[in-house]
Amino acid sequence: MASNLLNQTRNVLSKRLLGGEEEEFMDDINLFSVITVLSFLLSLPLMIFAEGVSFSPAFLQSTGLNLQELCVRAALAGLCFHGYQKLSYMILARVSPVTHSVANCVKRVVVIVSSVLFFRTPISPVNALGTGAALAGVYLYSRLKKAKPKSS
């Protein structure tokens, strides 16, 4: 719930910064770049505090991890997430924050349903209820959007 709240807040604030064609507004790629750098700078002290100096290559090898495989997988995951976030900001620049949030909700449902179908991930009744609520919300949003004419 906190993740959804913070994600939607980020969407609204980002959309305000994407505002228009005037010089003080940023385009989607510049805004994404600034947020990425600031996120790294804010996360770095927390990571050092939480992990300390024990998070080193020697420590990782002593745990029996294949360091090269870990680095390749971490780089691949980072590259995929970076692409996902970049695409997300490009879409946000073209749609309203509410539409973007609804699309994000649909994406999460698709990921959950795909996980259940392809990987046979067990789903609890609470998970099923949450997925159903998300689908119902998307359905109601689309119905209300069609029913309400756009005001100019």
3-state SS track over 94-112: CCCHHHHHHHHHHHHHHHH
105 and 77 fall within a common domain: no
67 and 107 fall within a common domain: no
Domain boundary pick from 62, 78, 94: 94
Please state at what angle helix 28-51 crosses helix 67-92, rounded to 10 degrees.
140
**pLDDT surpassing 60 at residue 46:** yes
What is the average per-residue pLDDT within 71-98? 88
**pLDDT surpassing 80 at residue 115:** yes
pLDDT at 75: 95
For 20, the 3-state DSSP assignment is coil
User: Do 100 and 11 contact (CB within 8 A), yes or no?
Assistant: yes
88 and 101 fall within a common domain: no
* Domain around 114: 96-151
Domain boundary pick from 46, 64, 94: 94
| Cα–Cα distance for residue pair 59/53, rounded to 1 Å | 9
44 and 89 fall within a common domain: yes
Domains of the chain: total: 2
Structure tokens, 101: 């949030």
